[in-house]
Structure 1
Amino acid sequence: MDELSTIKKVAILGSSGGNLFYLGGKEPEKLLEELLLQIEAAGMVCGTLQFIAAKASMDAVKENTPAELYTWDESTRKPTVIAKGTIADVNTTASQLDSEIAAKIAKGEMDAVIFMSADPNGANKSAVEAAAAMNLPATGTGGTSMAAIASKGVNVISTSGTTGTTNRTRAVTFLTSLSKHFGVPYRPIIGKALNNNQLDKTSVLPFQRINLRGMMLSSLPGFIAMALVLALSKIPGLTMLGEVFDLMINALPVILAVVAAKQVADFDDVSIVAGIVAGVLSVKGGLIGGIIGGILAGLLVQYIFRKCVEWKFPATTVNIAAGGIAGLISGLAVFFLIAPVALWLGEGIRSLLDLLVSTNGALAGLIAGLLIWPAIIGGVYHAAILPIVLLEMEKTGNSFLGAVDMAGLVMVSAGITLANIVSPRDKGEAAVAAPGFAINMGFGTFVEAAYPFMFSNKYIFAGAILSSGLGGLLVGLFDVRGTAYVPSFMAPLLSNHMTGFIIAMAGSLICSFLITLSINKISVKKTRNTVKENEIAG
């Protein structure tokens, strides 16, 4: 048998709906994109499409409400708009398309139907009758419309209302039901489509989506917000913000749990809710507890969601069970079992670092400064150093390694780029260096701006490490706690030692600037001498 003939063709029929309008229907492209993504993941294809997208909820629609009609373009294999105008005009065209789709169904060209807030007595009347006559398996959402569709004899294998659903959870529910009916394998795709509608197969397995570095980076804004609150609380008249700071410390595990759950499950609001529930119950475990709770919640969301769909629970119930129960189970596991161990581990890491710094702060800072450039270039920084920075910030709002980051990476990069603005080896380098310097100084990030200059000259590379070591030494000497990822002029305000941090930042910046400037001038001089020698020889 021809392989193409075994591929199931699905008809998508419906509208932006009443309640559905507020749950994804008002953005039809995203709604259809998610549905098509899951259809392809199940090894099926879209055979035909009729989707009426109104600019208002169908519960309050009027004859002059603007609307668009989407259909399936076989040449591009994408949804396309074939009619625009008032809802009355669009419904007229939709009725004609309905007849064409009914004919396709009657000829046996469709294998299944997905309904979303369809109108079995109006725009979808002929297609519904044809689906009933051909006994096509159907699934969909929209309580009232699905009840009417079932009453017309359509073989509805699963149905649900739209309350509490999202584009992704609806699509996964539809395809889980259809794949089970046809006996074909299906694993939901969690991720975006790539070019030419190719799926991101690497994001299929939940365990493969666990990325600690990504969780830390995504959660960083919460830590910076906490550091800002700490700095403001030191201003006379704003001491009441100290209570806000304490509250935000307790919120950090929740932030990490939400980010982790969203990353692992990526079921939109469902995974976010599960992460919040798990995070609230994981607060006693600190950052590590929050991460563990979020990861567990994300994994459980996927498992519970699929099981509930297989048991033919309504989509609304599926979402409630997946979000609520997954968050509760994972949160309770952390609360009663994991939190003490996670808290002990976090405290142990902080205590070890504090011991090293208190024993010989200058030496500890020097070593950290010398190693931080090789660490970020080798990919170790975000995997090892950043988590420690966040663990430090969880307790005090700033960090020893965070201060080394600002002085040893950001300021050194700024110094190198500044030197290439003032005295570049050629004019083109100044244009490359200027944006990097501005970003480092203005935002406390983009240390990679120095890479072109460091990698093109081993002496500048060595100068960067030397300057970073000096910055780290000064950080340790003054026992500074601070943070990067903020404007350079603001960083000292967020530290525990403003003067010391200014000295450390200025020291590393000036050192890297002078070294790079000297190397550039020597390089330019050598180039000129070489040119003169060639001219004389010529």
Structure 2
Amino acid sequence: MNRQIAIIGSSGGNLYNLGGRDPLKLLDEILVQMESAGLSCGALQFIAAQVSMDAAKDSTPAALYGWNSSQGEPVIIAEGTLQQVNQAAERLDREIAEQIELGEIDGLIVMSADPEGSNRHAIEAAAKFRLPVTGTGGTSMAIIQTKGAYVIAASGTTGTTNRTRAVTFATSLSKHWRLPYRPVIGNAAASIHAAAGSSSPWRRINIRGIMMASLPGFIGMALILAVSKIPGLSALTEVFDLMIKALPVIVAVIAAKQVSELDEVSIVAGIVAGVLSVEGGIIGGIIGGIGAGIIVHYIFRQCVEWRFPATTVNIVAGGVSGLIAGLLVYFLIAPIALSAGEGIRMLIETLVSWSPAIAGLIAGLLIWPAIIGGVYHAAILPIVLLEMETTSNSFLGAVDMVGLVMVSAGITLANIIAPRDKGEAAVAAPGFAINMGFGTFVEAAYPFMFSNKFVFAGAIASAGLGGMLVGIFGVRGTAYVPSFIGPITSNNTVGFLVSMAASMLCSFLITFFVNKLSGYREAKNTLSM
């Protein structure tokens, strides 16, 4: 009998822009990959809101997806306001917890869950019976770890896609149980949903989602720049120049694919539009890609209605759509788009030039509230990528590394060395490793920040210190790379190292002494009793 997996979570905040807004397509991809790994769905509880959870309210329309075992597919079991759906989700949460208690569930896949609310009972039951848990969602996965759950793989959501998440889930579970698994490249079910044209392409336009999905291309460019600085490899500078020119193509392809959701056809349209949009920079690429995605959607449907042969449909939809959108950008929009990108970069540079130290301090002090409040992915990350378009590094990218990644690393390291209780060290260790090794998953510090106001204040102060040093040293850098690579990709290796070390040391010392003081007080209270 196949291993039975419970899929729980929600359309999320950041996840909403990376697949969460289309629950059926997201779930279809997971189910296809699970089937390839010999896994079966035993339970499902997925809350789908019509907006990002970062902006959702109790009155936001939402739906609850459950699992229909007889039909073998996800079905909507409740609809209404988010508040009403959450109430239904809590009842389903108890049912899944009972299934776990009865041994009917073997593992959990988690996406942007609410371990303190609508997923509490399932998470606690999974922790009790040591079920393997894999999932995404920085904040939720960090809290799940603090509850003692057996997390075999965890990550944030930025930069992921439905397929990469699904493959990661299936891979981690199959490795845990030593099951044979080969990722499925095609997803017939998802293709059916896309071709059906169930929603307007205009509703799928999301600049934030396009920029975040394009992030690997920008990081690749930064890595090439770093390697080109090694003696004997200066020839890679030409490769770096070529990659800068390719960035509009990358964002155009992502935009076209996300807007049209027609996979290979939209990719071809995006490439054609992107090549013609190069002179407009990444803003031109985004406009060209969005245009290609919208046009390919309608041309594809029209060609199908005209009963064109499938090959002709792909050729016309992909090629013609890309040409129309690309030529519009090439002849009309490129100069305006290029000027807009230059204007944003000049604005950042002007603000920083007035007072680098104060600009860095303010950016550092605000970056934790920004990511906690959902502003980071909506505003800061796109600006970082615009800055990186010409030089592969940015002012806000450097603040990201020192203010978020290094501060999180300092907090988690302090909880490894001097935890308030032994369980916290086990929770902190994976987060510290990911912070240092991959330059991401800053949410690993959340459990410690939210449980102690002094650690929280220390995180903000440490980020402010690091940001101020970034301004003083005039550093331009990036996050989302291993910590030892970050300084190499920057314009000031020594300055970036000092800034990173200072913010990490500051957050480490504050957390260390707060933990020691808490332990001393607890011991004193115990003796007095």
Q: Normalised by the size of structure 2, how large is the TM-score?
A: 0.64
- Give the Å deviation of 1:166: 9.9
2:266 maps to what in 1? 271
Give me the whole-angstrom Cα distance separating, in 2, the residues matched to 1:392 and 1:458.
34
How big is each residue's C-alpha offset from its partner over 1:426-485, in whole Å with a ceiling of 9 and x where there is no partner?
A: 111111111000100010000000001111111111110000000000011000111111
Give me the whole-angstrom Cα distance separating, in 1, the residues matched to 2:480 and 2:275.
27
Map 1:318-357; keep pairs closer than 5 Å. Answer: 318-357=313-352
Amino acid in the other structure paired with 1:188: G
Residues 166 and 268 in structure 1, CA contact (< 8 A), matched pair in contact too: no
Map 1:493-532; keep pairs closer than 5 Å. Answer: 493-532=488-527
| 1:188 pairs with one of 175, 194, 197 | 197
- Determine whether 1:236 maps to 2:236: no
Unaligned runs of 5+ in 2: 1-30, 36-68, 74-185
Deviates more, 1:445-454 or 1:308-317: 308-317
Residues 360 and 468 in structure 2, CA contact (< 8 A), matched pair in contact too: yes
Map 1:89-488; keep pairs closer than 5 Å. Answer: 187-189=196-198, 204-488=199-483
1:59 maps to what in 2? none
Give me the whole-angstrom Cα distance separating, in 2, the residues matched to 1:429 and 1:170.
44
- SS of the equivalent of 1:485 reads coil
Residues 480 and 495 in structure 1, CA contact (< 8 A), matched pair in contact too: yes
Residues 191 and 262 in structure 2, CA contact (< 8 A), matched pair in contact too: no
- Give the Å deviation of 1:234: 1.7
How big is each residue's C-alpha offset from its partner over 1:241-266, in whole Å with a ceiling of 9 and x where there is no partner?
A: 11111110010010001011111111
- Give the Å deviation of 1:212: 2.0
How big is each residue's C-alpha offset from its partner over 1:333-367, in whole Å with a ceiling of 9 and x where there is no partner?
A: 11111111111111001001111222211111111
1:101 maps to what in 2? none
Distance 1:363 1:169, change over 3 A: closer
Distance 1:356 1:532, change over 3 A: same
- Give the Å deviation of 1:405: 0.4
Amino acid in the other structure paired with 2:197: P
How big is each residue's C-alpha offset from its partner over 1:365-422, in whole Å with a ceiling of 9 and x where there is no partner?
A: 1111011111111111111111111111111011111111000000000000011111
Amino acid in the other structure paired with 2:219: I
Give me the whole-angstrom Cα distance separating, in 1, the residues matched to 2:288 and 2:475.
32
Residues 261 and 275 in structure 1, CA contact (< 8 A), matched pair in contact too: yes
Residues 169 and 319 in structure 1, CA contact (< 8 A), matched pair in contact too: no
Amino acid in the other structure paired with 1:445: T
Residues 168 and 268 in structure 1, CA contact (< 8 A), matched pair in contact too: no
Map 1:2-17; keep pairs closer than 5 Å. Answer: none
Give me the whole-angstrom Cα distance separating, in 2, the residues matched to 1:331 and 1:230.
29
Amino acid in the other structure paired with 1:354: E
How big is each residue's C-alpha offset from its partner over 1:278-310, in whole Å with a ceiling of 9 and x where there is no partner?
A: 100111111111111111111111101111112
- SS of the equivalent of 2:468 reads helix
- SS of the equivalent of 1:313 reads coil
Identity score, percent: 70
1:106 maps to what in 2? none
- Give the Å deviation of 1:167: 5.3
Residues 222 and 255 in structure 1, CA contact (< 8 A), matched pair in contact too: yes
Residues 170 and 315 in structure 1, CA contact (< 8 A), matched pair in contact too: no
Residues 423 and 517 in structure 1, CA contact (< 8 A), matched pair in contact too: yes
Q: Normalised by the size of structure 1, how large is the TM-score?
A: 0.63
Q: How many residues align?
A: 354
- Give the Å deviation of 1:168: 7.9
Give me the whole-angstrom Cα distance separating, in 2, the residues matched to 1:273 and 1:321.
11
1:108 maps to what in 2? none
2:5 maps to what in 1? none
Unaligned runs of 5+ in 1: 1-28, 34-74, 80-164, 176-186, 190-203
Distance 1:296 1:519, change over 3 A: same
Amino acid in the other structure paired with 1:353: I
Give me the whole-angstrom Cα distance separating, in 2, the residues matched to 1:527 and 1:504.
35
Distance 1:294 1:401, change over 3 A: same
Quote the RMSD (CA, aligned, Å). Answer: 2.4
Amino acid in the other structure paired with 1:304: I
Residues 212 and 382 in structure 2, CA contact (< 8 A), matched pair in contact too: no
Distance 1:308 1:172, change over 3 A: farther
- Give the Å deviation of 1:211: 2.2
1:184 maps to what in 2? none
Give me the whole-angstrom Cα distance separating, in 2, the residues matched to 1:528 and 1:468.
31
Of structures 1 and 2, the one scoring higher in RCO (CA 8 A, sep 6+) is: 2
- SS of the equivalent of 2:214 reads helix
1:121 maps to what in 2? none
Residues 361 and 466 in structure 2, CA contact (< 8 A), matched pair in contact too: yes
Residues 413 and 428 in structure 2, CA contact (< 8 A), matched pair in contact too: yes
Residues 366 and 472 in structure 1, CA contact (< 8 A), matched pair in contact too: yes
How big is each residue's C-alpha offset from its partner over 1:31-90, in whole Å with a ceiling of 9 and x where there is no partner?
A: xx9xxxxxxxxxxxxxxxxxxxxxxxxxxxxxxxxxxxxxxxxx94469xxxxxxxxxxx
Give me the whole-angstrom Cα distance separating, in 1, the residues matched to 2:348 and 2:190.
44
Q: Show structure 1 runs of 4+ deviating over 3 A.
A: 75-79, 165-173
Give me the whole-angstrom Cα distance separating, in 2, the residues matched to 1:414 and 1:464.
11
Residues 281 and 335 in structure 1, CA contact (< 8 A), matched pair in contact too: yes
Give me the whole-angstrom Cα distance separating, in 1, the residues matched to 2:398 and 2:411.
19
Give me the whole-angstrom Cα distance separating, in 2, the residues matched to 1:170 and 1:531.
62
Give me the whole-angstrom Cα distance separating, in 1, the residues matched to 2:231 and 2:420.
49
2:43 maps to what in 1? none
- SS of the equivalent of 2:231 reads coil
- Give the Å deviation of 1:314: 1.7
